[in-house]
Amino acid sequence: MSDKVLSEQALKDLTGLAREIRGKTLYTIGKLGIGHIGGALSIVEILALLYGQEMKYDPKNPASPDRDLLVLSKGHAGPTLYATLAVRGFFPMDWLDTLNQGGTRLPSHVDRNKTPGIDMTAGSLGQGLSAACGMALGRKTDGSKVKVFCIIGDGESDEGQIWEAAMFAAQYRLSNLIAFTDYNKMQIDGTTEQIMDLGDIEGKWKSFGWHVERCNGHDLSAMHAAVSRCREQAEKPDARPSMVILDTIKGKGASFCEGKVEGHNMPVTLEMANQAIAALGGK
């Protein structure tokens, strides 16, 4: 298990990785001309942390049975995961030019049958956490050391299936499951408070029997420490599944959509994307 505190070099490397992933995400959506830019940019740092520090995987053997698994339940944020996988060597970088076009292997929502490194097909919100529970139960039954990670959205948490999965994971003590809520507090039609107020989101998950952490979802060091605490509690006799609430900003890092509800899904020109990339430092 990695230390709770990132080394100066590790933090520098992860910061650079996050910058590159954000830039590639902007480029990918800008090249297409439209996309779910807001919720894609709010998960950049957690994907950088998972693929740069926390997960066990082999880009040359993406179906390895002993790899850690990731379910991106909010599958419309696929461009960020595609950017991450491309940067980490799962497939050629020029695939990013084909997002959601005819014959692409990178559809708008992630598809495990098309893209190397995708562990769960997503699209219908609410289903990914259930799939992650099944993966975790299967690995636990087999005595595997594989970890299952899952990213859900806060708007997605309006779905009843999320809470059915929450009960299931607690019932079967799926301590090999670490989930994250991208709590950017906005969804397609407005703020989560306006549409369906989640209230005490930490209290909700605790009441369902989960170990809960909360931190800034753009702070790599804070997220690493939170994941380390989740791993620690997973080794205890009363181990439980873990939920990390990530306080994020929708559209983080792109002034044209940062903190804006309309950034959920919007037209993005390559010029807009390139200007945002330049503001990030050109990567």
Instruction: Give pLDDT, residue 282.
Output: 58
Instruction: Give pLDDT, residue 1.
Output: 40
Q: How many domains does the chain have?
A: 1
Report DSSP state, residue 196.
H
Instruction: Give pLDDT, residue 201.
Output: 98
**Has residue 3 been placed in a domain?**
no
Whichever domain contains 200, its CATH number is: 3.40.50.970
Strands, E assignment, the chain = 34-35, 69-72, 148-153, 177-183, 186-187, 190-191, 211-216, 242-247, 266-267
C-alpha–C-alpha distance, residues 21 and 19, integer Å: 6
The one-digit pLDDT tens for each residue of the chain (283 residues) are 446 899 999 999 999 999 999 999 999 999 999 999 999 999 999 999 999 999 999 999 999 999 999 999 999 999 999 999 999 999 999 999 999 999 999 999 999 999 999 999 998 899 999 999 999 999 999 999 999 999 999 999 999 999 999 999 999 999 999 999 999 999 999 999 999 999 999 999 999 999 999 999 999 999 999 999 999 999 999 999 999 999 999 999 999 999 999 999 999 999 999 999 999 985 4
**Has residue 174 been placed in a domain?**
yes
**Has residue 120 been placed in a domain?**
yes
**Has residue 2 been placed in a domain?**
no
**Has residue 244 been placed in a domain?**
yes
Instruction: Give pLDDT, residue 118.
Output: 98
**Has residue 271 been placed in a domain?**
yes
Expressed as residue numbers, the domain containing 62 is 8-280
Q: Cα 99 to the chain's mean position, in Å?
A: 18
**Has residue 219 been placed in a domain?**
yes
**Has residue 223 been placed in a domain?**
yes
Tokens read off for 26: 């902007």
